[in-house]
C-alpha cells in the first residue's frame, strides 16, 4: 500500500517543542510577519536570528517521541511504501531513523538570502555572518517563510497522485499548500485519515479521524497497519 504521511508541529509537541497555534503556541508570542517572512527578515534580521537561534537550541536538545519511532517502524515494514513529508523544521524524524521531505526547510540547515547556497547551520547565527559562497552578509535559516515557495513540491504532488492512503498527523490545517494536500490525495482516490489532538481546520475533508495525543494514537495506528500486512 502506498501511504503519504504529512506531519505538523503536533507530532513534536510531546518532545517538548512548541506548536504554533495552540493556546501557548509560538504565534501567540511572536508576530509571524516579523519573524517568518522575507519582509520581516529584511526589516530586522537580528530579531529573526534570535527567534530561530532559540528554536534551533531547543530542537537540538529534543528527542524523538513514541510517535516518531512508530513512523520509523512503519517505514521499515516491507509491505508499505511510505512517503513522509513534514512541515516541521526540527529533525526529530531523522533522529528516529527516518528520512523526511522537509517542505518548510530545517533549523539545522542555513542558506544565503542572496545566492541560495546551503550549509549545516551553526548553533547561533547572526546578521554579521557572511556567506561562504558569495561573501554577502545575508545568511539565514534554511526555512520556508510565508510568501515563499515550499521545497520539493513536484515530488510531493507526484506522490499525492499515487497515494492509496493519506494520513495527516499533528497539523491544524491552516497553512497552505500543505493544508490542501488531503484534497489532492482524495481526488486521486486515496482514503484520508486525520490523527490529531483536536479536529483541524480541514477535518471535514477526512474520511476517518483518530483523536488523542500522538504518542498514544500513532503507535496504535501503526500497529494496526503493520498487523494487517
Ligand atoms: C506559499 C516556517 C506560494 C518555518 C512556516 C497571503 C499572503 C502570502 C501568503 C498567503 C496569504 N494567504 C495565504 C497564504 C499562503 C500562506 C498561508 O497558508 N498562510 C496562512 C497563515 C493563511 N502560505 C505560504 O505563504 C506558503 N507559501 O503559499 O507560497 C508561492 C507561490 C508561488 C511563488 C512563491 C510562493 C509557505 C508556508 C510556510 C510558512 N512557514 N514555518 C518555521 O518557522 O517553522 S509555516 C508554520 O505553520 C510551520 O512551518 C508549521 O509547520 C506550519 C503549520 O503549522 P502546524 O504544523 O499545523 O502547527 P499548529 O500549531 O498550527 O497545529 C498543531 C496541531 O497539532 C494542532 O491541530 C493541535 O491540535 C495538534 N496537536 C498539539 N499537540 C498534539 C497535537 N496532535 C497530536 N498530539 C499532540 N500531543
Of ligand 1's atoms, which has the minimum distance to the CA of residue 22? 60
Cβ 162 under 6 angstroms from ligand 1: no
- Looking at the chain, the whole-number percentage of residues with pLDDT higher than 70 is 100
Nearest Cα residue to 160 out of 131, 137, 182: 182
pLDDT at 112: 97
The Cα–Cα gap between 78 and 31 comes to 44
Could you report the per-residue pLDDT of 79-107, keeping only the tens digit for each?
Answer: 889 999 999 999 999 999 999 999 999 99
Ligand 1 centre and the CA of 229: distance in Å?
Answer: 33
Of ligand 1's atoms, which has the minimum distance to the CA of residue 10? 65
pLDDT at 168: 98
Ligand 1 centre and the CA of 126: distance in Å?
Answer: 25
Task: Look at ligand 1, atom 64, and give the residue with the nearest C-alpha.
Answer: 171
The Cα–Cα gap between 26 and 15 comes to 15
Could you report the per-residue pLDDT of 147-199, keeping only the tens digit for each?
Answer: 999 999 999 999 999 999 999 999 999 999 999 999 999 999 999 999 999 99
pLDDT at 37 over 80: yes
What's the predicted TM-score (pTM) here?
0.96
Cβ 9 under 6 angstroms from ligand 1: yes
Check if 104 is active-site: yes
Cβ 14 under 6 angstroms from ligand 1: yes
Three-state secondary structure string covering the chain: CEEEEEECHHHCHHHCCCCCCCCCCHHHHCCHHHHCCHHHHHHCHHHHHHHHHHHHHHHHHCCCCHHHHHHHHHHHCCCCEEEEEECCCCCHHHHCCCCCEECCEEEEEEEECCCCCEEECCCCCCCCCCCCCCCCCCEEEEECCCCCCCCCHHHHHHHHHHCCEEEEECCCCCCCCHHHHHHHHHHCCCEEEEEECCCCCCHHHCCEEEECCHHHHHHHHHHHHHHHC
The Cα–Cα gap between 20 and 42 comes to 22
186 touches 214 (CB < 8 A): no
pLDDT band at 22 (very low <50, low <70, confident <90, very high): confident
Of ligand 1's atoms, which has the minimum distance to the CA of residue 141? 4
4 touches 83 (CB < 8 A): yes
Q: Which of 10, 51, 157 is the pocket-test mutation for ligand 1 (most atoms within 8 Å of CB)?
A: 10
Amino acid at each position: 500500500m502506498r501511504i503519504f504521511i504529512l506531519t505538523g508541529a503536533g507530532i513534536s509537541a510531546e518532545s517538548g517543542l512548541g506548536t504554533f497555534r495552540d493556546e501557548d503556541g509560538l504565534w501567540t508570542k511572536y508576530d509571524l510577519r516579523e519573524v517568518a517572512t522575507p519582509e520581516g527578515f529584511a526589516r530586522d534580521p537580528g530579531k529573526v536570528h534570535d527567534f530561530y537561534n532559540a528554536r534551533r537550541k531547543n530542537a537540538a536538545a529534543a528527542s524523538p517521541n513514541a510517535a516518531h519511532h512508530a513512523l520509523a517502524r512503519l517505514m521499515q515494514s516491507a509491505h508499505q511504501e511510505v512517503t513522509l513529508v513534514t512541515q516541521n523544521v526540527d529533525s526529530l524524524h531523522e533522529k528516529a531513523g527516518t528520512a523526511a521531505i522537509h517542505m518548510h526547510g530545517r533549523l539545522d540547515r542555513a542558506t544565503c538570502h542572496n545566492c541560495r547556497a546551503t550549509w549545516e547551520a551553526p548553533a547561533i547565527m547572526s546578521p554579521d555572518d557572511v556567506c561562504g559562497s558569495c561573501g554577502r552578509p545575508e545568511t539565514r535559516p534554511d526555512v520556508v517563510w510565508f510568501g515563499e515557495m515550499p521545497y520539493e513540491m513536484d515530488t510531493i504532488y507526484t506522490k499525492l497522485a499515487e497515494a492509496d492512503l493519506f494520513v495527516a498527523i499533528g497539523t491544524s490545517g491552516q497553512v497552505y499548500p500543505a493544508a490542501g494536500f488531503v484534497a489532492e490525495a482524495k481526488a486521486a482516490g486515496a482514503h484520508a485519515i486525520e490523527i490529531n489532538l483536536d479536529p483541524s481546520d480541514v477535518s471535514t475533508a477526512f474520511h476517518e479521524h483518530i483523536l488523542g495525543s500522538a504518542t498514544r494514537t500513532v503507535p496504535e495506528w501503526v500497529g494496526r497497519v503493520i498487523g494487517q500486512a
